Amino acid sequence: MQVTPARVVQERDWVRDRADVVVPLVNDIRERLADQFAVPVDPISEAQYVAAVDELFADGDRAVNVAAMVAILRDLDVEGDYPGFVVDEVLGRELAATIAGTQPLRLLGEATFHYADIMTHGDDGDAAGADDLDAALAAGFQEVIPGWEWTERESPFSVPPRGEDEP
């Protein structure tokens, strides 16, 4: 596989065009997690998703890695599927984490990937990586799109730079 700037654009466009699948999956995940943890969380819109995709792909270093993982998962198939279970799970988890960004969202993206993965099932004839790709996109983007109350507030653990907290 050759990853060029043009290929990154192609994969970005594919991810953007997947909004009709990813946005409902994100909203389903958010609804279930909100119920599970008894916290409010806002659903996302297609416009928010597209904006988050554009923002992600504007960061060239992350974009090239996301594009490569998307391309691999789109094409990844293993005869009998199960022997390939590990590789599509590893790639899906890493894709979700890369989309989510830095800690703690990175770890939450990885964890949410596994939650999302049990909610996605490829159609007959889909590559083995297809459902993992949808799960990864949903898990990663649901972390970075606003809607979780705890991400909207200042952390109580922020420490001011040395000297600013002294009288």
> What number is the average pLDDT over the span 14-30?
96
Q: Is 166 domain-assigned?
A: no
Q: Kindly tell me if the per-residue pLDDT of 84 is higher than 70.
A: no
Model confidence at 79, pLDDT cuts 50, 70, 90, reads confident
Rounded-to-10 torsion of CA 51, 41, 93, 119: -110
> What number is the average pLDDT over the span 116-128?
70
Model confidence at 154, pLDDT cuts 50, 70, 90, reads confident
For residue 42, what pLDDT is reported?
A: 94
Q: Is 47 domain-assigned?
A: yes
Q: Is 139 domain-assigned?
A: yes
Q: Is 152 domain-assigned?
A: no
Distance from C-alpha of 154 to C-alpha of 39, rounded to nearest angstrom: 18
CB neighbour burial string for 38-63, b if at least 16 within 10 angstroms, e if fewer: eeebeebeeebbeebbeebbeeeeeb
List the beta bridge partners of residue 148: 41
Number of H helices, E strands in the chain: 7, 0
Q: Is 161 domain-assigned?
A: no
Q: Is 135 domain-assigned?
A: yes
pTM comes to 0.88
* Residue 125 falls in which region: left (phi positive, over 0), alpha (psi -120 to 50) or beta: left
For residue 124, what pLDDT is reported?
A: 57
Q: Is 114 domain-assigned?
A: yes
Q: Kindly tell me if the per-residue pLDDT of 14 is higher than 90.
A: yes
Q: What's the mean per-residue pLDDT of the chain?
A: 88
> What number is the average pLDDT over the span 104-123?
86
Q: How many domains does the chain have?
A: 1
Distance from C-alpha of 27 to C-alpha of 19, rounded to nearest angstrom: 12
Containing domain of residue 97, as a range? 5-145
For 135-144, write each residue's pLDDT tens digit. 999 999 999 9
Q: Kindly tell me if the per-residue pLDDT of 78 is higher than 60.
A: yes
Q: Is 28 domain-assigned?
A: yes
